[in-house]
Every structure is written in structure tokens, then in C-alpha cells.
Chain A
């Protein structure tokens, strides 16, 4: 067919339409996701100064008028030398790792029980797991403040039962932070596990027991290996945000529990030391980059299959 000017115009319009579909979200992410990230990187190698903005510029002119690039790694050295920061990073990792394991320990049997229930019950149970996610995260953490406080429900109940005489300190301890994280992130563990187990072919378990495996053996040799993808996905979904968590340690841990998200927030807001806050953020990102890439890898594999 001979292609007239009209046909070419349509083709051009179509090409530009495809271009726009990619360009609009792309541009948005470049400006509001990637650029901010480079801002953080830039400020992390600047020095604090009393001015606005409160850091030295990356590119400056020296006394002789030559352009110089100033990279200051003092902030990173400072994080390394100050045992407060090092301990905080380690403590964050300890808390997030332990919480992830706790979530797995509690979440795995729950996910399994949901998969094994009848279709109607299953839908209701899933709804019950998802429901808290739609309600306010902040208020669910707040609920535990009421439970764990010195004059809180749990202490009152135990005193009334005569188990204890004086309140046990639970709020503003690491214990409370663990409770808060497990409580908040449990659905994030259960849902990927459920999605994984749902696809599991139950006849495999029957085949295993038919071939003489006892239930415990079947679990260890068939169920567990086949749910590894769910375990990994769920664990990452708990581990990554828990490591950088701010609200839970702040509300339930008070000043007693050191977690890096809280230090970062305070460094920025209370001390207005932007360069150090940026360096804290960069190091946190470096700690999490491997698990984040692993999660992305799983996600893209899932999306393409």
C-alpha cells in the first residue's frame, strides 16, 4: 500500500505516543527518585557549616579562582570511629534479624494452616491477615503502648491475678521493640509464604508419605525445600524495612533502644547535621543493598513468569 502523508503522520503520532508512555514515569522517577539519591550522596561528602544550606558545596572556587571539587570523607570516618554509630548499626541488624526469624517462626505455621483450610475459611482468614495492613500502622503500634505500659493492661491483669506485685517494665525496652516489629510485619511474612504454599502441589506430600516418609521427614525433605522462595521473599520483606525502622523504636523503645533509623532522624531534625545524616543514610543503604537487590531479582523473576 502506498503510504501517504497521512499514514506517516499517524505512524509518527503513534511513535511519539509510545515515547510518552515511557518518558512520563521515567522522567518522574529520575527527578524524584534518582536525583534525590545523588543529593544525599553529595551532601554525605560535604562538611557541616553554620549557614544555609548547612553544608559546604561540592564544587567551589578556591582563593586563586580555580574550580575545585571538595570531597570530604570525614563523615564516614566519624561513623566508623564513634562507637555509638557502630553499635547502633549492629544493634539494628541484630533486632531486624531476630524479628525476621520470629516472624518466620510464627508466620510459617499460620500460612500453612491457612493453605490447609477449606476455601471459604481460607478467604476469611486471608482477609483477617490483610485487614490490619489497611488500618493505621501508627495506631497499631500505639495499641501496644497501652498494653505494655507500667500501668498498662498486661501489668494490671498480672497484678490483679496476683502473679506479680509490682509492674514489670516492658514499655521502652528492647522487648517492646521486638513485639512491635513482629506485630507490624507479620502479615508481610505470612502473605508471600501463603502465595508460595498455595502453588505447592499437595500430591507431592502424598507421594512422599506413600514412599514411606513420616510426616516430620516429609516436612523436612519436601515441604520446607519447596517453600524456600516464599521464606526468602517474606524474610526480605520483614528484614529490609525493619532495619531502617523509625517509628517502632521511637514509640516502644523510647531512648533506650538504639536503632539506626531513629539516629538518622534525630541527627537530621534535632542536630541538623545534614552531612552526617546523609552519611548515615548511605551506610544504611550499603548494608541493605544486597537484600534489596535479591528482592528485586525475585520480583522480576515472579513478574516475568
Chain B
């Protein structure tokens, strides 16, 4: 490649990465600031971590968020996998077009609309059948499942259509009945996709503010709702400390995950290379 162009591309990359990461790095640095005013450096200190850990609100909100994220991810994977299977493996069935529409629409639906509509449904249902009697864990989880399952379905769909159908046919040919094929062949091969879907659904749920704000009730604060209510009023060093913990946790997680994937891929390539040589 010509050197002028590669220099241009290199500077573009540097600029892009700086744009993405400088704000986060500053966020982390200020979490160790002794001063109460975030942007003014007052020496190194861990006092905001102490404040954070002593805040019962933060602990409660974290617990609630994780509980919702966990239940959401599990249900979303179950429902999304079923939806993906139905879309790729069952051919045409009545109402398929509507089904496809409903699966992909939540991916692009503005959050405010999803949130508003679900809240109106919950209120309507409450008036009609008395359920849900109060809003909180259950309603937020249901709302999250509804949009998370769409993401899972898309992942499963793309994995399934990349997977040759003849593996499933071969199992049948060898005497496995359809349900057996599902458990012996289809689901094991989908497992990586389901894991990816689970992680994605978990993260989406942990990250959601708008839909949770609509569907929550008094006293049920998720972590984003809590953070939001604090930073609306301005900069808060304890939130910097919280951000640092979250960013580090995610970074470590992603690095480990990426490293494992890379190692597996390398191993696979080595295996294939050896097999071809044998």
C-alpha cells in the first residue's frame, strides 16, 4: 500500500480510538480524585470507593439489576432460540410474516416507544385482570425479555442458516427421531450462539435505562435508574468510582473471552493444518 495512504489510515485509527477511549480513561482517573469537584484534581484517594461501597442504595440497585439481567437472559435465550428455530427450520407456516416482523421490530424500535407501550399494557392489564398488581422486578424483566429475545433470535437465526441442514438429516437417517435430533445435534451446535445470546441479553438488560424507567414502580431502582437520578443533577465522584468498577469488570471479561476465542481458533487452525498434512 502506498505510504501516504497508510499514514492517513493510521492517523484515522488513532483519532478514532482516542475519541472512543479518552473519555473513559478520564472517567477512571477522576474516580481517584480526592476533591469533591470532579474536574479539579485534589490528589489521589480511594474515598469515593468507600462512599460507594457504603451506599445501601447502590447495593440494592445492583442486586436488582443483576437479578433482572439473569432472569431476562435465561428467558430470552429460551424464547429467542425457539423463535430462531421456527423461522429457519420450519419453512412456511401461517402468520410467518407477522412473526418475522415482530421478531425484528424490537431491534429498531425507539426505546421510548417500547417503554411507553409496555407500561400502558401493564396498566391496562392491571385494570382488567388485576395483574401485575405492582410494577418492579416482574414488569421490568418482561419488558427486557421482549426486546432481548429479538437479539437472541437474530443470532440463532444466522447460526442456523449457516449450519447445514444435512447434519440434522444425517442424524435422522441414522435413526434419530426429530426431538432426539434437536437435543443431539441442533442444540449442541447452537450452544455457542446461545451463549453469545445470553451474554448479549444480560448486557442489554444491565444497560437499559429508558425501558426500565417506564416499566418500574416506586421503590424498584435498577442500577441505571439510580445512576441516572444522581448524574442528572451534575457530576458525582462516587459515580466515577462505580463507572471505573464497571469498565474494568467488562474489560477484563471481554479480554478473557476474546483470548479464549483466539486460542480456540488457533488450535482449530493448527488441527486442520495437521489433518491436511497427514
Verify whether A and B have any Cβ pair under 8 Å. Answer: yes
Residues of chain A whose beta carbon lies under 8 Å from any beta carbon of chain B: 10, 14, 17-18, 21-22, 24-26, 28-30, 32-37, 39-40, 43, 53, 106, 109-110, 112-114, 116-117, 123, 125, 127-132, 134-140, 142-147, 149, 151-153, 156, 183, 186-187, 215, 236-237, 240-241, 243-247, 250-251, 261, 264-265, 268, 274, 277-278, 281, 284-285, 288, 291-292, 295-296, 299-300, 302-304
Within 8 Å by CB of A241, from B87, B111, B234, lies B111
A304 to B110: give the CA distance in the assembly, Å.
25
What are the residues of chain B within 8 A of A28 when measuring CB–CB? 79, 145-146, 149
Pairwise interchain contact A135-B104, C-beta atoms closer than 8 A: no
Q: Are A26 and B95 in contact (CB under 8 A)?
A: yes
Taking beta carbons and an 8 Å cutoff, which residues of B are in contact with A?
1-2, 5-6, 8-10, 12-13, 16-17, 19-21, 23-24, 26-27, 30, 37-40, 79-80, 82-83, 85-87, 90, 93, 95, 99-113, 116-118, 120-121, 123-124, 127, 142-143, 145-146, 149, 153-154, 157-158, 161, 177-179, 203, 206-207, 209-210, 213-214, 224, 227-228, 231-232, 234-235, 239-240, 242-243, 246-247, 250-251, 253-255, 258, 262
A63 to chain B, nearest CB (A): 24
Whether A137 contacts B207 by the Cβ 8 Å rule is yes
Q: A116 CA to B6 CA in the complex, in Å?
A: 9
User: Which one, B17, B24, B146, B177, contacts A135 given CB within 8 A?
Assistant: B24
Contact A24 B82 (CB under 8 A): yes
Given A25-B79, A264-B112, A146 and B104 contact (CB-CB distance below 8 Å): no
CA distance A292 to B104 in the complex (A): 9
Measured CA separation A187–B17 after assembly (Å): 11
Instruction: State the CA gap A143–B206 with chains docked (Å).
Output: 18
B178 and A14 contact, CB distance less than 8 A: yes
Q: Are A113 and B9 in contact (CB under 8 A)?
A: yes
Q: Give the total number of A-B pairs whose CB atoms are below 8 A apart.
A: 251
The answer to whether A36 and B120 touch (CB under 8 A), given A116-B1, A132-B24, A139-B27, is yes
Which residue on chain A has the smallest CB distance to residue B265?
A: A123
